[in-house]
Structure 1
């Protein structure tokens, strides 16, 4: 008998509607996965299994009564520990918020629940989502299920691991410099960073800085599209969500029913580094090996990249200023409760002058215009999702890549923040195992606001990959069950 925890969101939702899968059976299977595996990976750091089971029983009653069913009816979902779920802690991975219990649901959770989704708990994140390694001094480390000594990336690392291990078919993520794309790549799942405003951020602290956004994470492109159809709602509290007469310009329902796309008609840019990302030789080699395998299905390929001049400086300044605005008071008043990455960001933000910020904003505008000109003649970009293969989680960040020093603790995320700066939709899909035996993520970037096109192309490529040696296998669940508790590992909670 198939374990219901292996079902994707679309498959499970269809089976539930046809009365071939009980929401209670699905919820219990997901709980069993968590209880069998989470000791090894530490992905789900707060749980509401009783609440999920109660919701599952109500969902089953609705099915049997023939009631209308929402898009996510009876589907468990995991929530990144950066947004609120009523009754559960929202720690942000911060020692200052260990006892912070949410009294209401974040708008994203409200949308998911309204569509019939069942919140199962909170997933681990670096402190305040600062960094690409999911570890903090409150909840400890989250390990990569493909190698428990290695990082799952971040900051949505707990969500990616939960998906890879079968805890739930859907999980929330958020992304500034690849925070949902990078862990998706490292864990063999799918992560979509939408165009700014497609997923409203009514609690985003810096509303007029569109470098951070929430997005869907799932085990397939279609499932990510289904989740996006629920998240992409009209909400004029987000200045980047266009709402006219109560509607957005994008049709949210279309994300759940992706159109077929003729890949052979497309003009696609191919780049292994965007001209500036410090890309590891191993990653370059893997990318060069997979492009010829995909090329027969694609149209015109051109090795080129948009102009990414000043990308590092633009991202550093805007990111630093954002962190300064959000975390300066916490850093000044309780520095002992602030971890090294957040502290570094506050200090970095203070190092910039008003002129630095002005120049970064002007440079971002030029960067955006250059990207729009680039996409006048090309339809999509494909690239690696991350510049390096997963490293040991005890390494807070890579100080060197192929012997060359990195500029900052987030410089290795450059492959992702290239498309963050101009605000283009970007998706990561699994595409083979690299030379280290770890999942490799392929990034697909489209025109601004062509989120539907990005999903459709990704779905076509996903189908091609599935029938080849580029398919990424599931983690070894038996090995995870037999693994010792991650909490016993040295440096699980302490790091410099």
Structure 2
């Protein structure tokens, strides 16, 4: 019998090797994860609804399949958290919205089906902002998610529950999704790895506007290898995503990348993003410590002058598509962020939409030209250190007011517009001793090359005190007594409702 604490601390790749070699049972792994969730979830509220009993049945079935030497999937026996924007059969899926407080799907969506088919064991749903709007994970159904490094600070969003769960070693894998940075920003805030995949690489059926590349689903893990493993299990063509394409990749990372051969460009702000002066200094110091690793490392210039307006329009198109029915039925049923998104889009004209789609094409073409000179581009992932989750969003940078509640996501959404794969990887801490996320951007559809380069960069960083991945102080977290229900504007689930919901049945 293995020590449960030690098992929970192990990553997905290591656990897979132990399970495949029968050194550890899937049941042991699951119980270690459940124990970790039960101990620390009250401190950070990373998981909302859970499905422990079904997970236990699946873990026992996997153990029996191993004993019978039956063929199994790539993620066989690995517990996983599913973002609460993904429909899961028999497990409460609320989108963080009172509108879906009792939504109990009758089937899994495309992403969840692939993860289960690969053998992953779903232990529960991870918390999100209401309808996934914004980069601070708090909603009127489940409350706020606190950062494992300091539960009074936000964990980013909208995949904030997933990032917090990974950082606290509750599960070895979590799913994420990304529009303007929803996967990369929480990865940066919580000191883990999150990959915004190329549009269509991992199919998603929940986009009403299936032809837009703005929103993607993708993997999150504690390190690059774990992230690769989940991607390998989920990538490839699907008939319900018109952007999906045929793709195969090795199950495990093979070979190495010689960092000394890479040409690297970097930018603090893409010429248009507001970035805190302290974060600029931290970023410059990180780049200075890396420069000697590469064949070249130089500052880039790119024309993003119309990126903000462009993103406003293409983002609003997606929200109008997803929220129109709810808004027309009862505008008051939507929280302030989703409602603002819908109303912004509803005011736009066809002329606005045509201009924005043409401008995104221009941004795409200009950005790809950079990769004739560079193999990777680096930037900060977020413009500020983590701020308190009571503050709904960042209002200003360097004392200058921001234009709207999501303008502080610009470092990631300008890359969304270009459609290149991008990941956030932990690179030491910032000026406030919170995790610092480095955004690493690869060439068009160069997801695997990006991951391989990031793995080599990660290996170097782990040898350097100032660059290695930080870990939260779990002993301090255990003593935390932060009230994570404070920011809600609607009554949260009562304790008896929460107990029902965590077993995967309707809360109301």
TM bin (shorter chain): over 0.9
- Corresponding residue of 1:245: none
- Corresponding residue of 1:173: 176
Among candidates 98, 114, 118, match of residue 115 of structure 1: 118
Q: Following TM superposition, by how much is the alpha carbon of 1:491 offset from its aligned partner in structure 2, in angstroms?
A: 2.8
Matched, 1:448 2:451: no
Task: Provide the C-alpha distance between the structure 2 equivalents of 1:201 and 1:343, rounded to a whole number of angstroms.
Answer: 24
Task: Provide the C-alpha distance between the structure 2 equivalents of 1:322 and 1:204, rounded to a whole number of angstroms.
Answer: 8
Task: Provide the C-alpha distance between the structure 2 equivalents of 1:377 and 1:236, rounded to a whole number of angstroms.
Answer: 36
Task: Identify the range of structure 1 (45-54 vs 59-68) with the bigger mean alpha-carbon deviation.
Answer: 59-68
Matched, 1:74 2:77: yes
- Corresponding residue of 2:51: 48
Match runs of 1:211-290 below 5 Å: 211-242=214-245, 248=246, 250-253=247-250, 256-290=252-286
Matched, 1:202 2:199: no
Task: Provide the C-alpha distance between the structure 2 equivalents of 1:86 and 1:253, rounded to a whole number of angstroms.
Answer: 29
Deviations along 1:274-330, whole A, 9 cap, x unmatched?
Answer: 111111111111111111211221121110133212110110011012111211231
Whether the 8 Å contact between 2:422 and 2:440 is mirrored in structure 1 is yes
Task: Provide the C-alpha distance between the structure 2 equivalents of 1:493 and 1:289, rounded to a whole number of angstroms.
Answer: 41
Task: Provide the C-alpha distance between the structure 2 equivalents of 1:474 and 1:46, rounded to a whole number of angstroms.
Answer: 26
Q: Which blocks of at least 5 consecutive residues in structure 2 are unaligned?
A: 492-508
Q: Calculate the TM-score normalised by the size of structure 2.
A: 0.93
- Corresponding residue of 1:341: 337
Q: Following TM superposition, by how much is the alpha carbon of 1:112 offset from its aligned partner in structure 2, in angstroms?
A: 1.0
Task: Provide the C-alpha distance between the structure 2 equivalents of 1:310 and 1:154, rounded to a whole number of angstroms.
Answer: 25
Whether the 8 Å contact between 2:253 and 2:452 is mirrored in structure 1 is no
Whether the 8 Å contact between 2:268 and 2:379 is mirrored in structure 1 is yes
Task: Provide the C-alpha distance between the structure 1 equivalents of 2:191 and 2:67, rounded to a whole number of angstroms.
Answer: 36
Matched, 1:479 2:482: no
Among candidates 23, 36, 41, match of residue 38 of structure 1: 41
- Corresponding residue of 2:299: 303
Q: Calculate the TM-score normalised by the size of structure 1.
A: 0.96
- Corresponding residue of 1:160: 163
Task: Provide the C-alpha distance between the structure 2 equivalents of 1:170 and 1:301, rounded to a whole number of angstroms.
Answer: 33
Whether the 8 Å contact between 2:75 and 2:118 is mirrored in structure 1 is yes
Q: Following TM superposition, by how much is the alpha carbon of 1:73 offset from its aligned partner in structure 2, in angstroms?
A: 1.0
Task: Provide the C-alpha distance between the structure 2 equivalents of 1:241 and 1:259, rounded to a whole number of angstroms.
Answer: 27
Matched, 1:60 2:63: yes
Q: Secondary structure at the match of 1:233?
A: coil
Whether the 8 Å contact between 2:150 and 2:477 is mirrored in structure 1 is no
Matched, 1:84 2:87: yes
Task: Provide the C-alpha distance between the structure 1 equivalents of 2:126 and 2:472, rounded to a whole number of angstroms.
Answer: 18
Task: Provide the C-alpha distance between the structure 2 equivalents of 1:326 and 1:16, rounded to a whole number of angstroms.
Answer: 41
Q: Secondary structure at the match of 1:116?
A: coil
Match runs of 1:317-328 below 5 Å: 317-328=313-324
Matched, 1:403 2:399: yes
Task: Provide the C-alpha distance between the structure 2 equivalents of 1:492 and 1:30, rounded to a whole number of angstroms.
Answer: 28
Q: Secondary structure at the match of 2:408?
A: helix
CA gap 1:130/1:354 in 2 versus in 1, 3 angstroms: same
Q: Secondary structure at the match of 1:260?
A: coil
Whether the 8 Å contact between 1:221 and 1:459 is mirrored in structure 2 is yes
Matched, 1:103 2:123: no
- Corresponding residue of 2:499: none
Task: Provide the C-alpha distance between the structure 2 equivalents of 1:333 and 1:258, rounded to a whole number of angstroms.
Answer: 53
Q: Secondary structure at the match of 1:201?
A: coil
- Corresponding residue of 2:501: none
Whether the 8 Å contact between 2:152 and 2:482 is mirrored in structure 1 is no
Whether the 8 Å contact between 1:140 and 1:493 is mirrored in structure 2 is no
Task: Provide the C-alpha distance between the structure 2 equivalents of 1:350 and 1:281, rounded to a whole number of angstroms.
Answer: 36
Q: Secondary structure at the match of 1:3?
A: helix
Task: Provide the C-alpha distance between the structure 2 equivalents of 1:132 and 1:439, rounded to a whole number of angstroms.
Answer: 16
Q: Secondary structure at the match of 2:418?
A: coil
- Corresponding residue of 2:20: 17
Deviations along 1:207-245, whole A, 9 cap, x unmatched?
Answer: 011100000001010110010001102213222123xxx
Task: Provide the C-alpha distance between the structure 2 equivalents of 1:252 and 1:79, rounded to a whole number of angstroms.
Answer: 23
Task: Provide the C-alpha distance between the structure 2 equivalents of 1:236 and 1:477, rounded to a whole number of angstroms.
Answer: 44
Matched, 1:422 2:418: yes
Matched, 1:132 2:149: no
- RMSD over aligned Cα, in angstroms? 1.4
Q: Secondary structure at the match of 2:372?
A: coil
Q: Secondary structure at the match of 2:239?
A: coil
Q: Following TM superposition, by how much is the alpha carbon of 1:174 offset from its aligned partner in structure 2, in angstroms?
A: 0.4
Task: Identify the range of structure 1 (436-445 vs 196-205) with the bigger mean alpha-carbon deviation.
Answer: 196-205
Deviations along 1:335-361, whole A, 9 cap, x unmatched?
Answer: 222100011111111222211111111
Q: Following TM superposition, by how much is the alpha carbon of 1:494 offset from its aligned partner in structure 2, in angstroms?
A: 5.5
Whether the 8 Å contact between 2:188 and 2:436 is mirrored in structure 1 is yes
- Corresponding residue of 1:146: 149
